[in-house]
């Protein structure tokens, strides 16, 4: 941090200012603290974007299959079914850019290419490619495209430009057909050069995470889809997603090669991007990119899939390459607040977490009213698939949580649920308006933040305080008359509890099934514990995979049949995490 107040005479002025400020606070009788709706460089998944409502029934929001590209000093985020795209200076705050000049903007799985100071776009389906030199303006022009898909298929395309300037297209989205790639010539309308290559086939008999089903339990091939390529230290990392976007076990795996068109070898650490547990699951059909500071990130699809199988959100995950050039992603605590760095960070040793703990899980709640099937307790159950809904959309409907005691609160995440909305594209956005208050006795309330004049569509709002403040009760009240119901799929409170840390987990047992893709875990329930973090990896020193669970058992069917694994388990509560010391090995 730069040094300040180098000139001596400024010291006196600064001292006078602090005296006046302190006197003002004393006159007010209490210190005020700032609530930042735009939370600086602190974020939490799902990304807080104005997810668009879709054209068809039922009314629901959707965005998926994301790509982020750094172009002329700004980040641009493209996602399926969004009617446009977003720009950002910092990966934190995003500005929506509606787009009508791209004729196939409504296709799934956008492919983006930065080439010769222009940005190119292609979606699934019939090859139509557009370009612009200024993506901040809706002024894309269509390219005279010669590209046609060899070997069949036309879904989930991806561009890749190599260091030598050569350009490739990859595609594939099927429970039978492979992932394919081919070189193209941008100077000749992206015409195909040479022969297409089959790169990734289905192997669900060996890789459990490719098996269809909510717990990889449908015993049939999932959908291998969404290829994306990144180059690191001269090697090519070809991502693909499986087993299906409607499942919490949706993830991204990797094959590695020495040439853009292979041959490719399966990366045993797959799926490297994986998040089956916690508040929101899913981390598949994504894209890895570098930021302005040479940090790596993976933006991917997260899953709700209640109103429709394609009801989805987006997540942003820090990733890194280990010394053995293996790709890893931090996912488990990314639906808690974490920071976006503004410098180069060693992401192997730093997961960017703010180290604020969840204080609201299954605490006592009250509500002004509750719609049947959407009772008040669903407002803090750590499941985005369930939610509290009031019986009306009238002003004055409220939901309240009692933390049990005064705790130091640093942030809130308010996830709105859009119950009984009738909104559809193109009338596709909605701005919630509300009041959040806090209390230490449940009788005397103070305003924490007043969003009664909010004009922004922010369905996953993160509110961060400039300093922690103690409070026991929090209440959110609707201040806007609306069609549909005022509804919340979780009101999440983060901060520091005052309990002792939990005891280390005891009697941790790991059992590998005769079907070696399935492994079952059991352990003793620990007192004073909110939940557990089960960790694993294919190397003892790289337990980079993790799942958050709230019971004392877990069954995973997503393991590689022929891989040896190492496991440990942590316990956590409102005060922090107690790491497990034992690492168990299962061949």
Q: Are residues 179 and 281 in the same domain?
A: yes
Give SS3 for 444. coil
Closest Cα to residue 88, out of 108, 66, 104, 121?
A: 66
Q: Are residues 446 and 530 in the same domain?
A: no
pLDDT in tens, the chain (587 residues): 333 333 333 333 333 333 333 333 333 333 344 565 555 799 999 999 999 999 999 999 999 999 999 999 999 999 999 999 999 999 999 999 999 999 999 999 999 999 999 999 999 999 999 999 999 999 999 999 999 999 989 999 999 999 999 999 999 999 999 999 999 999 999 999 999 999 999 999 999 999 999 999 998 999 999 999 999 999 999 999 999 999 999 999 999 999 999 999 999 999 999 999 999 999 999 999 999 999 999 999 999 999 999 999 999 999 999 999 999 999 999 999 999 999 999 999 999 999 999 999 999 999 999 999 999 999 999 999 999 999 999 999 999 999 999 999 999 999 999 999 999 998 789 999 999 999 999 999 999 999 999 999 999 999 999 889 999 999 999 999 999 999 999 999 999 999 899 999 999 999 999 999 999 999 999 899 999 999 999 999 999 999 999 999 999 999 999 999 999 999 999 999 999 988 999 98
pLDDT at 5: 36
Q: Are residues 410 and 269 in the same domain?
A: no
The CA distance from 59 to 188, in Å, is 42
Q: Are residues 446 and 376 in the same domain?
A: yes
User: Which stretches does DSSP call E strand in 45-104?
Assistant: 64-71, 74-80, 84-88, 95-98
Does residue 567 form part of some domain?
yes
**Model pTM score:** 0.93
Tallying the residues shown for the chain, one arrives at: 587
Q: Are residues 472 and 567 in the same domain?
A: no
pLDDT at 428: 82
Q: Are residues 297 and 172 in the same domain?
A: yes
Does residue 5 form part of some domain?
no
Phi and psi angles of residue 276, each rounded to the nearest 5 degrees, phi first: -85, -15
Surface-to-core class of residue 502, CB atoms within 10 Å of its CB (0-12 exposed, 13-18 middle, 19+ buried) = buried
pLDDT at 31: 37
The CA distance from 316 to 91, in Å, is 9
pLDDT at 37: 53
Q: Are residues 173 and 307 in the same domain?
A: yes
The CA distance from 165 to 156, in Å, is 22
Which residues form the domain of 557? 509-586
Angle subtended at Cα 311 by Cα 481 and Cα 52, rounded to the nearest 5 degrees: 55
Q: Are residues 277 and 410 in the same domain?
A: no
Ramachandran bin of 70, using left for φ above 0, alpha for ψ from -120 to 50, beta for the remaining angles:
beta
Phi and psi angles of residue 362, each rounded to the nearest 5 degrees, phi first: 55, 30
Does residue 393 form part of some domain?
yes
Cβ atoms 107, 122 nearer than 8 A: no
Q: Are residues 526 and 439 in the same domain?
A: no
Q: Are residues 280 and 403 in the same domain?
A: no
Cβ atoms 287, 68 nearer than 8 A: yes
Q: Are residues 445 and 517 in the same domain?
A: no
- 210 DSSP assignment: G
pLDDT at 39: 55
The CA distance from 227 to 240, in Å, is 4
Q: Are residues 180 and 286 in the same domain?
A: yes
Look at residues 496, 525, 560 and tell me which one is the last residue of a structural domain.
496
Q: Which DSSP helix (H) or strand (E) runs through 22?
A: helix 8-28
The CA-based dihedral angle spanning residues 291, 297, 301, 304, taken in that order and rounded to the nearest 10 degrees: -110
Does residue 485 form part of some domain?
yes
Cβ atoms 212, 558 nearer than 8 A: no
Say how many C-beta atoms besides its own lie within 10 A of residue 517's C-beta. Answer: 23
């Amino acid at each position: 941090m730069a040094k300040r107040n180098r000139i001596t005479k400024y010291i006196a002025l600064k001292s006078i200012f602090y005296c006046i400020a302190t006197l003002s606070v004393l006159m007010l009788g209490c210190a005020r603290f700032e609530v930042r709706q735009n939370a600086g460089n602190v974020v939490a998944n799902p990304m807080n974007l104005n997810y668009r409502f879709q054209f068809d029934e039922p009314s629901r929001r959707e965005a998926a299959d994301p790509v982020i590209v750094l172009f002329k000093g700004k980040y641009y985020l493209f996602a399926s079914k969004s009617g446009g795209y977003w720009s950002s200076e910092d990966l934190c705050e995003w500005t929506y850019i509606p787009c009508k000049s791209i004729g196939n903007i409504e296709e799934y799985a956008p492919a983006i290419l930065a080439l010769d100071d222009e940005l190119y776009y292609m979606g699934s389906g019939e090859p139509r490619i557009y370009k612009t030199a200024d993506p901040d303006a809706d002024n894309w022009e269509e390219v005279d495209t010669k590209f046609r898909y060899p070997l069949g298929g036309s879904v989930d395309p991806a561009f890749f430009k190599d260091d030598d300037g050569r350009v490739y297209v990859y595609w594939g989205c099927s429970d039978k057909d492979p992932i394919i790639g081919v070189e193209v010539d941008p100077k000749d309308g992206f015409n195909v050069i040479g022969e297409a290559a089959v790169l990734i086939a289905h192997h669900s008999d060996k890789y459990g995470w490719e098996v269809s089903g909510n717990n990889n339990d449908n015993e049939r091939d999932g959908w291998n889809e969404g290829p994306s390529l990144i180059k690191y230290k001269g090697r090519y990392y070809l991502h693909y997603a499986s087993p299906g976007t409607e499942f919490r076990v949706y993830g991204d795996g990797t094959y590695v090669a020495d040439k853009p068109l292979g041959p490719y070898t399966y990366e045993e650490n797959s799926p490297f991007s994986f998040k089956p547990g916690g508040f929101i699951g899913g981390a598949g059909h994504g894209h890895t990119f570098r930021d302005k500071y040479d940090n790596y990130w993976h933006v991917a699809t997260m899953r709700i899939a209640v109103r429709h199988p394609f009801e989805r959100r987006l997540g942003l995950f820090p990733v890194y390459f280990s010394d053995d050039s293996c790709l890893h992603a931090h996912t488990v605590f990314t639906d808690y607040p974490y920071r976006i760095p503004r410098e180069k960070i060693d992401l192997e040793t730093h997961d960017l977490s703010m180290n604020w703990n969840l204080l609201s899980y299954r605490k006592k709640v009250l509500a002004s009213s509750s719609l049947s099937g959407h009772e008040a307790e669903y407002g803090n159950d750590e499941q985005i698939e369930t939610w509290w809904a009031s019986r009306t959309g009238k002003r004055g409907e409220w939901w309240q949580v009692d933390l049990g005691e005064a705790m130091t609160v640093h942030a809130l995440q308010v996830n709105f649920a859009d119950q009984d909305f009738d909104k559809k594209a193109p009338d596709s956005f909605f701005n919630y308006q509300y009041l959040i208050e806090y209390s230490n006795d449940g009788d005397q309330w103070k305003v924490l933040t007043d969003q009664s004049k909010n004009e922004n569509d922010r369905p996953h709002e993160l509110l961060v305080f400039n300093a922690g403040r103690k409070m026991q009760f929090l209440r959110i009240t609707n201040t806007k008359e609306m069609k549909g119901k005022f509804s919340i799929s979780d009101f999440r409170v983060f901060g520091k509890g005052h309990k002792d840390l939990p005891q280390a987990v005891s009697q941790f047992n790991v059992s590998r099934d005769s079907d070696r893709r399935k492994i079952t875990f059991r352990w003793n329930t620990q007192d004073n514990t909110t939940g557990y973090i089960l960790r694993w990896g294919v190397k003892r020193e790289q337990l980079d995979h993790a799942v958050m669970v709230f019971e004392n058992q877990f069954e995973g069917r997503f393991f590689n049949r022929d891989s040896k694994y190492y496991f440990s388990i942590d316990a956590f509560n409102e005060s922090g995490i107690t790491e497990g010391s034992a690492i168990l090995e299962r061949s």
